[in-house]
């Protein structure tokens, strides 16, 4: 007897006669109809139970959440809503559930409730759809880079450099927390720690990726990243996955082209390959929208939004132009922003980014040439001496999705910057070596994978697009 996935049974061109399928019961109604799902698709296959000829003990165990094996005839469906169904001949209960205590009942649960049940929430339509889209997006990320001549590099997760400067770090130590070795000054003596120095979880693989780009030409990382920032927002995780391409001989314009082409390409992959899941998520969004006030409802459906991004050019705007727009916009003049923009040099808050993207331009925006003062030390200084070749990509509903730059390739300029910031050159000796031996123009960016998944699925809280979210005060599972 051949075993099939639910997807194979539903997508089949013709009836397959006697088949076996295993999955979990979503619902069992009228003592006759099992909706069976095995995760291969958002859709369930209907298994019609032969009530008269099924053991009463088995019938009792056909409850939501139970794992079963069904053998029967794969036939064209009599009922509406599906092409095929199974006329069950034999049902084996592989793993019972308990209808009284199983948390995932066949009714609508709030996303908050399901977050507390992260080990079971993927058994719902919403989370299984999100996680299949997430998986497809990961594949698309690798496919894009592999087809375009990039090498995948694995940069370290434990880092010994504290100059990455992208956020607060989590310390990695093997010292006894209750009784750490002390120096003569009473400080913790990290010389006695595992690595003989202070180490942390990485906040970005960029600096190490640069070393590889300066030999392999085009590289990318795609791995876990950690930030101990205590920002309990719907767009920040303490552990997230970042995609960081780095390319030798590429300037900022090329970097913007790469980022735009990359994002469009992976979203197109999802449009082409995740139709059933997108349809479901789109309907979910329409339902969710109905609960919102009129003015907060989205004008486009999920697939329209994805097509819009794939089919239109991102708007490229310099920081200086953006400041002018913001300075003169209504919410700024009427003091509706929490942070009023009055001077060039101000750091943009997410309220400003969202105004530009959602109100002013109404499309993805690439902001470039930021003031040096508000950006990282490694970004290339422009000839004006006050801006750097940085770019951020801002997305509707999300805000910043990409942060990138052309890197400072001139040794003296980089050294001066490091000294101004009070960073010890010795910390970065290997990074500076790249500028000593065969330096060249190079650029890259970092894209937060979960923010991309947010956009692709139409979800609004980043905790709902990663299997087990890590946020302040929360590391269950």
Write down the least CB distance from residue 73 to ligand ATP, Å: 49
- The reply to whether 451 sits near ligand ATP by the rule CB under 6 A is yes
Residues 223, 448 contacting (CB under 8 angstroms): no
Per CB under 6 A, the segment of 189-197, 334-342, 366-374, 394-402 that binds ligand ATP is 394-402
| β-strand partners of 85 | 46, 75
Among positions 250, 302, 348, 402, the unique one binding ligand ATP when judged by CB under 6 A: 402
Among positions 24, 190, 222, 240, the unique one binding ligand ATP when judged by CB under 6 A: 240
What are the Cα distances from residue 50, in Å, to 47, 71, 72, 215?
A: 10, 12, 10, 66
- The reply to whether 450 sits near ligand ATP by the rule CB under 6 A is yes
Residues 175, 181 contacting (CB under 8 angstroms): yes
Number of residues that bind ligand ATP (CB under 6 A): 16
| For ligand ATP, the closer CB: 74 or 352 | 352
Q: What's the rounded Cα separation, in Å, for the pair 19 and 33?
A: 17
Per CB under 6 A, the segment of 1-9, 67-75, 147-155, 235-243 that binds ligand ATP is 235-243
Binding mask 286-315 for ligand ATP (x = CB under 6 A): ------------------------------
132 contacts: CB under 8 Å, gap ≥ 6? 42, 274, 277
Residues 217, 257 contacting (CB under 8 angstroms): no
| β-strand partners of 92 | 69
Q: Which two tokens stand for residue 390?
A: 């940085």
Q: Which two tokens stand for residue 317?
A: 């705007």
3-state SS of the chain: helix, strand, coil percent to 5? 35, 25, 40
Q: What's the rounded Cα separation, in Å, for the pair 403 and 415?
A: 23
Write down the least CB distance from residue 225 to ligand ATP, Å: 7
Residues 365, 319 contacting (CB under 8 angstroms): no
Binding mask 213-232 for ligand ATP (x = CB under 6 A): --------------x-----
- The reply to whether 134 sits near ligand ATP by the rule CB under 6 A is no
| For ligand ATP, the closer CB: 54 or 461 | 461
Write down the least CB distance from residue 450 to ligand ATP, Å: 5
Residues 363, 314 contacting (CB under 8 angstroms): yes
Write down the least CB distance from residue 242 to ligand ATP, Å: 5
Q: Which two tokens stand for residue 129?
A: 């759809």
Residues 447, 221 contacting (CB under 8 angstroms): no
| For ligand ATP, the closer CB: 255 or 450 | 450
> What are the φ and ψ backbone dihedral angles of 459, each rounded to 5 degrees?
-80, 165
Question: Looking only at residues 154 through 173 of this chain, which bind ligand ATP when binding is defined by CB under 6 A?
Answer: 166-167
Residues 32, 59 contacting (CB under 8 angstroms): no
- The reply to whether 401 sits near ligand ATP by the rule CB under 6 A is yes
| For ligand ATP, the closer CB: 19 or 465 | 465
Per CB under 6 A, the segment of 12-20, 323-331, 397-405, 421-429 that binds ligand ATP is 397-405
- The reply to whether 259 sits near ligand ATP by the rule CB under 6 A is no
Q: Which residues bind ligand ATP (CB under 6 A)?
A: 166-167, 227, 236-237, 240, 242, 400-403, 446-448, 450-451
């Amino acid at each position: 007897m051949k075993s099939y996935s639910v997807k194979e049974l539903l997508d089949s061109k013709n009836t397959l006669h006697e088949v076996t399928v295993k999955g979990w019961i979503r619902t069992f109604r009228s003592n006759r109809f099992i909706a069976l799902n095995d995760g291969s698709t958002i859709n369930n296959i209907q298994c019609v139970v032969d009530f008269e000829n099924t053991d009463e003990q088995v019938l009792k165990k056909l409850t939501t959440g139970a794992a079963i094996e069904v053998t029967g005839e794969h036939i064209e469906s009599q009922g509406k809503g599906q092409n095929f169904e199974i006329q069950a001949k034999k049902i084996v209960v592989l793993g019972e559930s308990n209808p009284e205590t199983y948390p995932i009942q066949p009714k609508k649960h709030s996303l908050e409730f399901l977050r507390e049940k992260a080990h079971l929430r993927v058994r719902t339509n919403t989370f299984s759809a999100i996680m299949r889209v997430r998986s497809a997006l990961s594949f698309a990320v690798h496919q894009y880079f592999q087809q375009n001549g990039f090498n995948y590099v694995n940069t370290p997760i434990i880092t010994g450099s504290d100059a990455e400067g992208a956020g607060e770090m989590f310390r990695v130590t093997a010292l006894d927390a209750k009784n750490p070795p002390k120096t003569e000054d009473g400080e913790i003596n990290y010389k006695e720690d595992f690595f003989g120095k202070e180490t942390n979880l990485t906040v970005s693989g960029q600096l190490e990726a640069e070393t590889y780009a300066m030999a392999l030409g085009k590289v990318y990382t795609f791995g876990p990243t950690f930030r101990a920032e205590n920002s309990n927002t719907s767009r920040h995780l303490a552990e997230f996955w970042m995609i960081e391409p780095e390319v030798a001989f590429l300037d900022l314009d090329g970097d913007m082209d790469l980022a735009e082409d990359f994002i469009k390409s992976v979203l197109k992959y999802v449009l082409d390959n995740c139709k059933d899941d997108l349809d479901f998520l789109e309907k979910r969004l329409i339902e969710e929208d109905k609960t919102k006030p009129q003015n907060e409802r989205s004008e486009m459906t999920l697939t329209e939004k994805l097509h819009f991004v794939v089919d239109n050019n991102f708007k490229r705007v310099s920081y200086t132009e953006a400041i002018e727009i913001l300075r003169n916009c209504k919410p700024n003049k009427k003091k509706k922003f929490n942070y009023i923009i009055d001077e060039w040099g101000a750091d943009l808050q997410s309220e400003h980014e969202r105004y530009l993207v959602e109100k002013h331009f109404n499309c993805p925006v690439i902001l470039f040439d930021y003031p040096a003062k508000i950006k990282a030390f490694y970004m290339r200084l422009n000839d004006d001496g006050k801006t750097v070749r940085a770019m951020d990509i801002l997305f509707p509903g999300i805000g910043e999705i990409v942060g990138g730059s052309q890197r400072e390739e001139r040794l003296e300029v980089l050294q001066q910057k490091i000294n101004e910031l009070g960073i010890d050159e010795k910390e970065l000796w290997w990074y500076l070596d790249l500028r000593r031996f065969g330096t060249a123009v190079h650029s890259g960016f970092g894209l937060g994978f979960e923010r991309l998944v947010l956009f692709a699925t139409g979800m609004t809280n980043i905790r709902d697009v990663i299997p087990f979210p890590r946020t302040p005060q929360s590391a269950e599972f």
